[in-house]
A and B are shown apart, each in its own frame.
Chain A
Amino acid sequence: MFHWLEKHPFLFSVGVFVVIAFAGLIEIVPNFAQASRPVVGTAPYSTLELAGRHVYIKNSCNACHSQLIRPFKAETDRYGHYSLSGEYAYDRPFLWGSKRTGPDLMRVGNYRTTDWHEHHMKNPEEVVPKSIMPAYPWMFENTVDIDTVYAEQLTVSKVFSVPYNKAVPTKDGSVTVKMGKDLEDAKAMALEEAKIVAADMKDPRVKAAVEAGEIPEIVALIAYLNSLK
């Protein structure tokens, strides 16, 4: 039979394709609808938080930090409650990572402050002696691109029905994450958020930039890290 098949490349290729596609169908399809349901309390990212997420991705922070707490005592002791599927319902892409060169950041917002992050990004060793993390000084100089962030918010709300401007249930009532009416509005909202973060920061350049209506990458990144709870 197989000698016969080896003389018919087309049928051979069809055979190979069917055999390899099989596992994917069975493993991936059944769970798809279920895994996209958010758990109570999970809300979409605000404009500034999403901008911070872009900075996080741009610098491949996920290469060294995971965002997935496994259900082991040591991990829940160290990082907090283990991860639930629905907590990631608005994560496009997912950022679980595959390597923990540094600690997990899934709930870093619970135990680190704006001030801590600011110093840590400027000089990690000053905050954590012997840290092997490099410094990220350029984040204090580069400004974020709110246009692209707003485009993403529009896209996910239109294409994937992510609930911006809608009430999202939480344990005590509900929250509404606002998205700008237009690009100008989005920029103004992000700047308001940025002012709150920058108020807790020390770097004079950051303060001056925010005063002048610009948002340095570090401000957005810290807003994102603070939102991880």
Chain B
Amino acid sequence: MENRPLEYDYTVAKMFMLTTVLLGFVGMLIGVILAFELAFPSINTILGSGLAEYTNFSRLRPLHTDAVIFGFTLSGIFATWYYVGQRVLKVSMGESKFLMAIGKLHFWLYLLVVVAVVVSLFAGVTTSKEYAEFEWPIDIAVVVVWVLFGMSIFGLIGIRREKSLYISIWYYIATFLGIAMLYLFNNMEVPTYFASGGIGAWYHSVSMYAGTNDALVQWWYGHNAVAFGFTVPIVAMIYYFLPKESGQAVYSYKLSLLSFWGLMFVYLWAGGHHLLYSTVPDWMQTMGSIFSVVLILPSWGSAINMLLTMKGEWQQVAASPLIKFMVLGSTFYMFSTLEGPIQAIKSVNAIAHFTDWIVGHVHDGVLGWVGFMIMAALYHMAPRVFKREIYSKKLMAAQFWIQTLGVVLYFTSMWIAGITQGMMWRAHDQFGNLAYSFIDTVTVLHPYYTIRGVGGLLYLIGFVMFAYNIYKTMSARQVEETELKNASPMGA
């Protein structure tokens, strides 16, 4: 065994790759529908008035966010974990029947939760807390799925051959711990059926926290779910896939240390920036604001570390569409982590909060950074997992440009829409009366909503090209006998 290369077992990684593609498509499709519903409200009832309850913006909106966060992104995180984990720890899932069983159970229970979420959100069963809409039975199932994920991480670490933990593993561990803590505390709720002695709907619950406290816990969760779902695990991916794909070593070990521990310490403070000018105490708002600005340092630390990894090899960016995805992804990460702190400055937040600029900010991060990185990871994994060459690099390049255009249209239109909205809300005329009625501020946004819809549609079209490319790669006849050679982190 010692002298032969390891045969990694990608069974579970493959399963999660499929849900990444499937749920990514569903989540983005609903997003595009929502975008056009805002621009053209008649689309709300497109399937007729009988089904209007289920095609309505308000029902689809949580479905969109949850499908993208917990469907697409989380599947991507799991898929890459079951690929990267084995390789940097130098141990195959095939060596442990127990870990294999955990992995498969993890997948099937996850899929069951996804189905339960879709059904309950369509039915309007929700706790209304953003990105934590699920009622307690689903919450408990989510915790079990998460424990299984943790068992697979620490189980694989337990039987590893490589003594030292590669940077990506730090970030996967942090993802597990961070989300576990946040999810548990934010979803503390009392099931009313049991507390009242068996009255009403069995799945209904009431939050443990009230009003301002509830808001504080929710945004401590909400912001940091972004941290530990959209930032930390995606950084884990880029630290593995970019060096591996480009054949370049990570630029600086010290910088990766500094940015990792910096990110861990600073991120949790920043949640308060969702509550500026609300009823939480001033000192908390100020802390949220200041730490959001400090957050630029560790975020840019890892992004710069990645971009400098390409030092001397920039021609690869021109030559390889896969490297393009990763490099532009890192650039969008820098852009988004500069934009966020700017919005967290109190005077800017006074205009930006409650507007479409915030929506724009989320999407340049999610589409440009998270989406690009997950698709790049899958493109890198596909030939190795399915032992076939990527079906079409040309298609990949076309997809890159279409999606980049989509992201640019999305965030530029939302920037303009958001700032316009914020300025119109606060405008007074020469007599000190409000200059605009609310509906004036709605109608002026129509062109930007249309442009946003087009941007989203372009991204979706790119995603369909991605799905097709992966499908053709999977199902191609020719099989690669030897794995593609690259230099790599930890020689894995």
Contacts and interface: CB of A to CB of B under 8 A. Distances in A.
Interface in A139-178: 145, 147-152, 154-156, 158-160
A41 to B, nearest CB: 15
A134 interface: yes
Nearest to A150: B199
Interface stretch (B212-220, B383-391, B466-474): B212-220
Contacts of B261: 19
B41 interface: yes
Interface residues of B, number: 93
Contacts of B206: 92, 152, 155-156
A206 interface: no
A94 interface: yes
Interface stretch (B8-16, B94-102, B280-288, B311-319): B280-288
B228 to A, nearest CB: 8
Contacts of B359: 99
Contact of A12 (B45, B62, B127, B170): B170
B61 interface: yes
B210 A16 contact: no
B439 A88 contact: no
Nearest to A142: B53
Contact of A103 (B124, B163, B204, B438): B438
B237 to A, nearest CB: 18
Contacts of B484: none
Contact of A151 (B195, B207, B425): B195
B201 to A, nearest CB: 5
Interface in B337-360: 350, 353-356, 358-359
Interface in B260-309: 261, 264-265, 267-269, 271-272, 274, 277-281, 284, 287-288, 291
A68 B212 CA distance: 11
Nearest to B41: A132
B430 interface: no
Contacts of B170: 6, 12, 16
Interface stretch (A24-32, A189-197, A208-216): A24-32
B73 to A, nearest CB: 19
Contact of B443 (A27, A101, A103, A130): A130
Contacts of A137: 49, 52
B201 A9 contact: no
Contacts of A35: 211-213, 216, 279-280
B199 A128 contact: no
B439 A128 contact: yes
B272 A27 contact: yes
B177 interface: yes
Interface residues of A, number: 85
Main secondary structure on B side of the interface with A: helix
A7 to B, nearest CB: 5
B213 A32 contact: yes
B154 interface: yes
A89 B214 CA distance: 10
Which of B52, B154, B218, B264 has the most chain A CB atoms inside 10 A of its CB?
B264
A114 interface: no
Interface in B161-201: 163-165, 169-170, 173-174, 177-178, 181, 185, 190, 192-193, 195-197, 199-201
Nearest to B197: A154
A131 B442 contact: yes
B211 A60 contact: no
B56 interface: yes
Nearest to A53: B128
Contacts of B288: 27
A219 to B, nearest CB: 17
Interface string A173-208: 000000000010000000000000000000000000
B268 A94 contact: no
A57 B124 CA distance: 8
Contacts of A147: 199-201
B432 to A, nearest CB: 9
Contacts of B124: 58-60
Contacts of B454: none
Nearest to B227: A20
A27 B157 CA distance: 33
B126 A16 contact: no
Q: Which of A6, A62, A150 has the most CB of B within 10 A?
A: A6
A64 B192 contact: no
Interface in B100-147: 124-130
A151 B196 contact: yes
Contact of B53 (A24, A36, A138, A183): A138
A86 B320 CA distance: 58
6 contacts: A2-B257, A19-B264, A35-B211, A93-B129, A94-B215, A98-B130
Given A60-B124, A154-B199, 6 more contacts: A6-B170, A16-B264, A20-B264, A130-B443, A136-B56, A150-B199
